[in-house]
Amino acid sequence: LSAPPLSAPPGAPFLPGLSAPPAPADDELEGMVGGSATMREVFAQARRVAPSEATLLILGEGGTGKETLARAMHRLSPRRHRPFVPVYCEAIPETRIEGELFGCERGALPGAHTARAGLCEAAEGGTLLLNDVAELPTRVQARLLRFLQTGEVRRVGASRARHVDVRLIATTHRDLVQRVRDGSFLSDLYFRLRLHEIRLPPLRQRPGDAVRIAESLLRRHAWAMAQAPLTLSAEARAAVAAAPWPGNVRELENAVHRAIVLAERGEIAPAHLGLDASSPPPVPPADALEAEPPSDSLEGYFRRFVLEHQAALTETEIARRLGISRKTLWERRQRLGIPRARS
């Protein structure tokens, strides 16, 4: 979605009394929906911070909209016409991440037959988004810190550094303070990243927003299909409002998309959303999603979750729902003796 035009296009209907473009609504930000007081505050903070050049850290549980907010910030910034380059730190193998981010000279890394620019350089003039920044190995964290301090990138194997103009946005669902304490995240990098910090609250702490988002998804779907929107039954509204949504907006979005298929026409009932009013689905304790092992109950939860879901979900999706990296998922599978089922 792009910003609304500043002047009405030719042939636009005349709206009496409307001489200036309307002020941006405070219950949405570039397509993000949120009328709760907590989200209005987030949107206000995001609008203040967007024009800044300073590094931004976005925190929040899985599925709360960190990447979506980062994209909105880019579109609201003076860099909007320049590249937006998202990087998924946990998805890049450790042996390749330095070359991917910073580039490399010919022959400096295995398989580097030609010199190659990294993603930092690809974002020149624009915004670089580092998703899951806590998953970067310490060696790469140090290189990133040097880049932030000097504004210069040195490709792997290069003797000369080159100036690169990018704004960095980083996200994580981890507790970075804890990571700094246990020595797995560089404190200097942490302080450098959080020049601005925005914390996205979990969906269960945004009163009214789950229903707002669900209805906005239904309207958007109806618009795309050029048909009348499906509506939520009174029970479905109540169920959406009451559900804890441990997977936050992503989980809600999946539930609504499933309901659209199942309900086909007319009204959506709680069952279409997978919300059975009589037996609410069991929810892991909130901190189980964030916490690290080992604890017997957590391991039990992990084992049950993996065994129950591995037939239906990809490894990426399982890791995402558990709030861990794919690497951690793999390691835990090995440790607990539940290797990946062969398909």
The residues of the shown chain that bind ligand ATP, judged by CB under 6 A, are 32-34, 60, 62-68, 131, 173, 213, 249-250, 253, 320
Output 98 or 135, the one with its CB closest to ligand ATP: 135
Output 127 or 131, the one with its CB closest to ligand ATP: 131
Rounded CA gap, 113 and 25, in Å?
51
Give yes or no for residue 317 binding Mg ion (CB under 5 A).
no
Q: Which two tokens stand for residue 277?
A: 């009013």
- Closest residue to ligand ATP using C-beta atoms: 65
- Give me the amino acid identity at 20: A
Smallest distance from Mg ion to CB 61, Å: 11
Smallest distance from ligand ATP to CB 117, Å: 26
Omega of the bond leading into 294 within 30 degrees of 0 (cis):
yes
Which of ligand ATP, Mg ion, none has residue 62 at its interface (CB below 5 to 8 Å by kind)?
A: ligand ATP
Which of Mg ion, ligand ATP, none has residue 322 at its interface (CB below 5 to 8 Å by kind)?
A: none
Residue of 67, 321, 62, 91 whose CA lies nearest to 170: 67
Which of Mg ion, ligand ATP, none has residue 153 at its interface (CB below 5 to 8 Å by kind)?
A: none
Smallest distance from ligand ATP to CB 51, Å: 21
Per DSSP, the residues of 287-316 read HHHH--S--HHHHHHHHHHHHHHTTTS-HH
User: Between 95 and 134, how does the x/- string for binding to Mg ion read (CB under 5 A)?
Assistant: ------------------------------------x---
Q: Which two tokens stand for residue 234?
A: 């009174």
What DSSP designation does 280 have?
P
Termini Cα distance of the chain: 39
Output 120 or 130, the one with its CB closest to Mg ion: 130
Smallest distance from ligand ATP to CB 154, Å: 29
Smallest distance from Mg ion to CB 146, Å: 25
Output 131 or 325, the one with its CB closest to Mg ion: 131
Give yes or no for residue 67 binding Mg ion (CB under 5 A).
yes
CA distances from 73 to 229, 329, 333 (A): 30, 31, 37
Query: Beta strands of the chain (E only): which ranges?
Result: 28-29, 32-33, 56-59, 84-88, 127-131, 152-153, 162-163, 167-172, 196-199, 231-232, 267-268
Which of ligand ATP, Mg ion, none has residue 68 at its interface (CB below 5 to 8 Å by kind)?
A: ligand ATP
Which of Mg ion, ligand ATP, none has residue 321 at its interface (CB below 5 to 8 Å by kind)?
A: none
Output 91 or 161, the one with its CB closest to ligand ATP: 91
Which of ligand ATP, Mg ion, none has residue 60 at its interface (CB below 5 to 8 Å by kind)?
A: ligand ATP
Rounded CA gap, 114 and 108, in Å?
9
Rounded CA gap, 250 and 63, in Å?
5
Strand partners, 33: 28
Chain contacts with Mg ion (rule: CB under 5 A): 66-67, 131
